[in-house]
Amino acid sequence: MIFDRACSPAARTASLMLRVTIAACALLAFSVAGAQKPDAPPQTHYVPGPAFDTSSINATADPCNDFYQYACGNFAANHPIPGDQSGVDQFYVLYNVNTQELNGILTKYAAPSPSRTVNEQKIGDNYAA
Protein backbone atom coordinates (compact mmCIF):
# COMPACT_ATOMS: atom_id res chain seq x y z
CA MET A 1 0.00 0.00 0.00
CA ILE A 2 1.06 3.60 -0.45
CA PHE A 3 0.76 4.39 3.24
CA ASP A 4 2.91 1.46 4.41
CA ARG A 5 6.11 3.51 4.21
CA ALA A 6 4.83 6.01 6.75
CA CYS A 7 3.68 3.36 9.22
CA SER A 8 5.70 1.79 11.99
CA PRO A 9 6.82 -1.83 11.60
CA ALA A 10 4.18 -2.90 14.13
CA ALA A 11 1.45 -1.16 12.14
CA ARG A 12 2.66 -2.80 8.92
CA THR A 13 2.67 -6.21 10.61
CA ALA A 14 -0.86 -5.65 11.95
CA SER A 15 -2.01 -4.51 8.51
CA LEU A 16 -0.47 -7.58 6.88
CA MET A 17 -2.03 -9.89 9.45
CA LEU A 18 -5.43 -8.28 8.86
CA ARG A 19 -5.10 -8.76 5.09
CA VAL A 20 -4.06 -12.40 5.52
CA THR A 21 -6.96 -13.02 7.91
CA ILE A 22 -9.47 -11.48 5.50
CA ALA A 23 -8.07 -13.52 2.61
CA ALA A 24 -8.22 -16.72 4.68
CA CYS A 25 -11.83 -16.03 5.68
CA ALA A 26 -12.80 -15.37 2.08
CA LEU A 27 -11.07 -18.54 0.94
CA LEU A 28 -12.81 -20.54 3.67
CA ALA A 29 -16.20 -19.08 2.75
CA PHE A 30 -15.74 -19.96 -0.92
CA SER A 31 -14.47 -23.47 -0.15
CA VAL A 32 -17.36 -24.13 2.24
CA ALA A 33 -19.88 -22.80 -0.27
CA GLY A 34 -18.57 -24.99 -3.09
CA ALA A 35 -17.81 -28.06 -1.02
CA GLN A 36 -21.23 -29.68 -1.24
CA LYS A 37 -24.05 -29.51 -3.75
CA PRO A 38 -27.38 -28.17 -2.41
CA ASP A 39 -29.28 -31.38 -3.19
CA ALA A 40 -26.98 -33.55 -1.02
CA PRO A 41 -28.01 -33.67 2.65
CA PRO A 42 -25.35 -33.21 5.33
CA GLN A 43 -23.51 -36.42 6.17
CA THR A 44 -23.54 -35.99 9.93
CA HIS A 45 -25.50 -33.79 12.29
CA TYR A 46 -23.14 -31.86 14.55
CA VAL A 47 -24.33 -30.42 17.83
CA PRO A 48 -22.61 -27.39 19.37
CA GLY A 49 -20.65 -28.36 22.43
CA PRO A 50 -21.05 -26.57 25.72
CA ALA A 51 -18.46 -24.06 26.86
CA PHE A 52 -17.48 -26.46 29.64
CA ASP A 53 -17.95 -30.04 28.49
CA THR A 54 -18.46 -32.21 31.57
CA SER A 55 -18.77 -35.32 29.40
CA SER A 56 -15.04 -35.05 28.64
CA ILE A 57 -14.14 -35.49 32.31
CA ASN A 58 -12.89 -38.94 33.24
CA ALA A 59 -14.08 -39.27 36.84
CA THR A 60 -12.33 -42.63 37.25
CA ALA A 61 -8.89 -41.00 36.88
CA ASP A 62 -7.20 -39.52 39.94
CA PRO A 63 -6.70 -35.77 39.35
CA CYS A 64 -3.74 -35.74 41.76
CA ASN A 65 -1.82 -38.29 39.68
CA ASP A 66 -2.84 -37.41 36.10
CA PHE A 67 -4.85 -34.21 35.84
CA TYR A 68 -4.92 -34.25 32.02
CA GLN A 69 -6.48 -37.74 32.00
CA TYR A 70 -9.00 -36.56 34.58
CA ALA A 71 -9.92 -33.34 32.73
CA CYS A 72 -9.82 -34.60 29.11
CA GLY A 73 -9.84 -38.39 29.35
CA ASN A 74 -13.20 -38.92 27.67
CA PHE A 75 -12.77 -36.31 24.91
CA ALA A 76 -10.91 -38.70 22.62
CA ALA A 77 -13.55 -41.40 23.14
CA ASN A 78 -16.39 -38.94 22.45
CA HIS A 79 -14.68 -37.38 19.39
CA PRO A 80 -12.84 -39.99 17.28
CA ILE A 81 -10.33 -38.69 14.76
CA PRO A 82 -11.66 -38.90 11.17
CA GLY A 83 -9.47 -40.62 8.60
CA ASP A 84 -8.83 -37.42 6.66
CA GLN A 85 -7.70 -35.42 9.70
CA SER A 86 -4.57 -35.51 11.82
CA GLY A 87 -6.39 -34.70 15.04
CA VAL A 88 -9.56 -33.40 16.68
CA ASP A 89 -9.96 -30.59 19.17
CA GLN A 90 -12.73 -28.22 20.25
CA PHE A 91 -12.00 -25.91 17.33
CA TYR A 92 -12.52 -28.79 14.88
CA VAL A 93 -15.88 -29.53 16.51
CA LEU A 94 -16.80 -25.83 16.28
CA TYR A 95 -15.70 -25.76 12.62
CA ASN A 96 -18.03 -28.67 11.84
CA VAL A 97 -20.96 -26.99 13.60
CA ASN A 98 -20.35 -23.72 11.71
CA THR A 99 -19.97 -25.51 8.37
CA GLN A 100 -23.23 -27.37 8.96
CA GLU A 101 -25.07 -24.15 9.86
CA LEU A 102 -23.72 -22.35 6.78
CA ASN A 103 -24.70 -25.30 4.60
CA GLY A 104 -28.23 -25.18 6.02
CA ILE A 105 -28.53 -21.46 5.29
CA LEU A 106 -27.18 -21.80 1.74
CA THR A 107 -29.38 -24.81 1.01
CA LYS A 108 -32.45 -22.93 2.26
CA TYR A 109 -31.67 -19.94 0.05
CA ALA A 110 -30.92 -22.17 -2.96
CA ALA A 111 -34.48 -23.55 -2.93
CA PRO A 112 -36.74 -21.50 -5.22
CA SER A 113 -39.25 -19.55 -3.17
CA PRO A 114 -41.22 -16.37 -3.91
CA SER A 115 -40.67 -15.19 -0.34
CA ARG A 116 -36.88 -14.84 -0.77
CA THR A 117 -35.46 -11.34 -0.62
CA VAL A 118 -33.22 -10.07 -3.41
CA ASN A 119 -30.06 -10.79 -1.40
CA GLU A 120 -31.28 -14.27 -0.43
CA GLN A 121 -32.02 -14.98 -4.08
CA LYS A 122 -28.55 -13.85 -5.15
CA ILE A 123 -26.91 -15.96 -2.46
CA GLY A 124 -29.04 -19.00 -3.28
CA ASP A 125 -28.57 -18.72 -7.03
CA ASN A 126 -24.81 -18.35 -6.62
CA TYR A 127 -24.69 -21.40 -4.34
CA ALA A 128 -26.86 -23.51 -6.66
CA ALA A 129 -24.71 -22.66 -9.69
Average pLDDT score over residue span 20-35? 52
DSSP state of 84: T
pLDDT score recorded for residue 67: 92
- The Cα 46–Cα 78 span in angstroms is 13
pLDDT band at 9 (very low <50, low <70, confident <90, very high): low
**Is the distance from CB of 38 to CB of 106 less than 8 angstroms?**
yes
The single-letter code of the amino acid at 16 is L
pLDDT band at 19 (very low <50, low <70, confident <90, very high): low
pLDDT score recorded for residue 32: 47
C-alpha distances out from residue 61 to 38, 50, 57, 74, Å: 45, 22, 9, 10
Q: Go through 94-129 and write b for each residue having 16 or more CB atoms within 10 A of its CB, e for each that does not.
A: eebeebbebbeebbebbeeeeebeeeeeebbeebee
**Is the distance from CB of 32 to CB of 103 less than 8 angstroms?**
yes
Higher pLDDT, 73 or 38: 73
